Amino acid sequence: MQLQVDTTGGEHVHIVLADEIDTPFIESLENDGHHCQTVQVLPTQGLDELIEDADVLVVRSTNVTRLAIEASTRLGLIVRAGAGTDTIDTQAASENGVYVCNVPGQNAAAVAELTIGLLLAVDRSIPASTADLHMGRWAKAEYSAARGLKGRTMAILGLGEIGVAVAERATAFGIKVRALNRAERASGLLDRIDRLNIDFFDEVPELLNGADIISLHLPLTDRTRNIVNDQFLDQVVHGAILLNTARGALIDEAALLKAMETKALRVGLDVYEEEPPTPTADWDSSFVKHPNIVGTHHIGGSTQQARDAVASGVVRVIKAYADGHMLNCVNLADRPLGACTLTVRHRDEVGALAAVLACLRGAGINVQQMQNEIFAGVSPTAAVATIRASRPPTAQTVADLRQIESVLRVEIAEQA
């Protein structure tokens, strides 16, 4: 990646935006010396043809394929202007040494607001009632049969930023909230979760038993794809409300169609398994025409507040990257790797670390993770390199490391 050094300590990068963010945020990046280019992906010109000279790619809804990732010899960072990264080939990015970062939680309030809006719309039949008014039909008795939300039970699948925001709003309506007791809940959410008196269950059947509202807030993975299938829906109580503002492919739509007929399920959807590829399109779908469905146009995170928050998050990620730091990276190993850890204390001078790495390479040892930190003080000072290696070094390799002129001390700890 060919970068211009910034006199303030950062680096200038060429940023390609395949989906627009508002002008003030672009200006913020350009004021730091970065070059921003907004492109439009067309059927006649794919993303791979538009990012050949990009250092950073920013996307919201645009798919980033292996072809696009491998088209650029300079690409170092892909930023998803949102939380989910299932539209990005993260495996291809990892193979090519490209960071993939997201902006989690910034649109949580917007998605949670729409989720509650869909719940109210389903429970009170607001769309059908409005349609009748527009047609000049008054049907007070027909629309007075809503059950109401107070005292009902909502099962939330996915207790991340959005799931917690939904739980907070549902609790304010007097809804009893339950969720899965999963250890992967973000630690930053624990205080908020504790204040909500959520009931936790270990398995999905226990979670669904007695829940008459179900809200999906899961990422789309191989494990969660079509999680709402025949078996899932068989466990849902008759007449329940199902909400999905996460990913359309979480639901097996054929199974849901059957359940709407046999179990009188009512559904509020913002996302669908097959959506039009453009913001404006004719879309003839028998699924969304079912009378038990209230739907919106995949707009969960599309409020001005959310757009500003997401754009601000994108700017923070790019500025950190230009300064040599990573924020919200989803494709770095999230655990210590290697069979052992070498701690090499060395003088902070040119070639010291290179000599250490050359020694390890000569011994056939792969460096899987490494951090090198410089001690404070008047130059010259020392540094400490923490190296997680693929296998423990032999006694001879340790002796060779200690013979390097710049090396002060070598310590070895095998991984547990």
**Which positions are annotated as active-site residues?**
247, 275, 298
Let me know: does 64 contact 89? Beta carbons within 8 Å: yes
Calculate helix-pair angle for 161-172, 108-124, nearest 10 degrees. 40
Distance, CA of 190 to chain centre = 19
Cβ burial 42-61 (10 Å sphere, 16+ → b, else e):
eeeeebbebbeebbbbbbbe
Residue 166, both tokens: 């939904």
Q: Residue 31, CB half-sphere, CA atoms under 13 Å: how many? A: 7
Bond prior to 104 in cis (omega within 30° of 0): no
Encode burial over 167-192: b for 16+ CB neighbours within 10 A, e otherwise.
Answer: bbbbbeeebbbbbbeeeebeeebeee
Which candidate, 371, 372, 360, places its Cα nearest to that of 336? 371
Residue 288 DSSP label: T
How far is Cα 132 from Cα 3, in angstroms, rounded to an integer? 61
Bridge partner residues of 340 (DSSP): 389, 414
